[in-house]
Amino acid sequence: MERFEAIFFGSLLCFALAFILSGVLPVAALDKVTPKYQTLEDLAATVPEDFTSLSTAYPEEFEKAFGTAEANSENYAEALRLGRDLYIGDGCWHCHSQYIRPVAQEAERWGPVSEAAEYNNALHMPPLWGTRRVGPDLSRQGGVHTNDWHMAHLWDPPGTVPGSVMPRYRWFFTKDKRPTKRALSIVAYLQWLGDTRSQVDLQTVTIASTMEKEAAKIKEEKSKADKKEEKK
Ligand code: HEC
């Protein structure tokens, strides 16, 4: 019986430790990451040009999908959420990563190495780093292609990029080849990818300029102290 108890409580202890180390601590550490955690509403607060132009390029489809022909924060948030759900549900993450590693010169190919702060928001929780790269990393996909390019590409990848092995996503379109809510949403999501990067850059700049100011202060204090010494 004693042996059983030792194993039982030992296992419980191991489980509790693992839960704290790989569950509680990382979540607690997120608090210290800046910018602070952003909700979907925060992310959709400003409606980007890409999304507005989806509403003007496909007004009928847009109205059918979102109940209004005008792009606003609410339908932008809705599109981002659905876009991300489709990214998961339709298996985009089987072939695409969303993490630029600090190795193999990935930064040359896709832009700056990914930082923790970029993932501290509702659309990256849980993060969709992926495990394979049949296609390229999509961390900084926003703005790389136009909305129309994405529509054509989703309809027929090999017809857009010769030799592509990406599957056709024709169920994102109606029978007469018009985009449905799904196509509009996944394109909005793809154009959003990389958006939080600018805030991380701002943070880095703020940290750098604070450090510069501090350095200048120390220098000034030192020269004042030196002068005092000289006077003596
Ligand atoms: C079977 C693997 C596979 C799946 C699944 C897949 N892709 Fe791709 N994807 C690729 C490959 C390979 C390329 C590169 C060739 C090309 O551009 O078509 C690519 C390219 C892309 C590009 C262009 C990237 C660039 O910078 O030019 C985008 C955007 C994209 N995929 C989005 C998606 C989305 C969204 C989904 C899910 C709806 C998806 N992919 C599913 C393999 C895949």
Domains delineated in the chain:
38-196 (1.10.760.10)
Question: Given this model, what pLDDT does residue 46 score?
Answer: 92
140 Cβ closer than 6 Å to some ligand 1 atom: no
Give the mutation target among 87, 109, 144, 166 for probing the ligand 1 site: most ligand atoms within 8 A of CB. 166
Ligand 1 centre from 54 Cα, in Å? Answer: 20
- What SS3 class is residue 61? helix
Provide the pLDDT for residue 205: 65
- Report which protein residue has its CA nearest ligand 1's atom 12: 135
Whether 95 is in the pocket of ligand 1, judged by its Cβ within 6 Å, is: yes
Does the beta carbon of 84 sit less than 6 angstroms from any atom of ligand 1?
no
What is the chain's pLDDT, residue by residue, as a tens digit (232 residues)? 689 999 999 999 999 999 999 988 887 877 777 778 889 999 999 999 999 999 999 999 999 999 999 999 999 999 999 999 999 999 999 999 999 998 888 888 888 888 888 888 999 988 899 989 999 999 999 989 999 999 999 999 999 999 999 999 999 999 999 999 999 999 999 999 988 887 777 666 666 677 778 888 888 998 898 888 887 7
Going by alpha carbons, the residue nearest to atom 43 of ligand 1 is: 166
Closest ligand 1 atom to the C-alpha of 189?
A: 35
| pLDDT at position 123 | 94
* Radius of gyration of the chain from its Cα atoms, rounded to whole angstroms: 24
Q: Is the CB of 88 under 6 A from ligand 1?
A: no
Taking the C-alpha atoms of residue 49 and residue 47, their distance in angstroms, rounded to an integer, is 7
Dihedral, CA of residue 10, residue 16, residue 18 and residue 24, to nearest 10: -170
3-state DSSP call for residue 210? helix
**What pLDDT is stored for residue 207 in this prediction?**
67
188 close to 80: Cβ distance less than 8 angstroms: yes
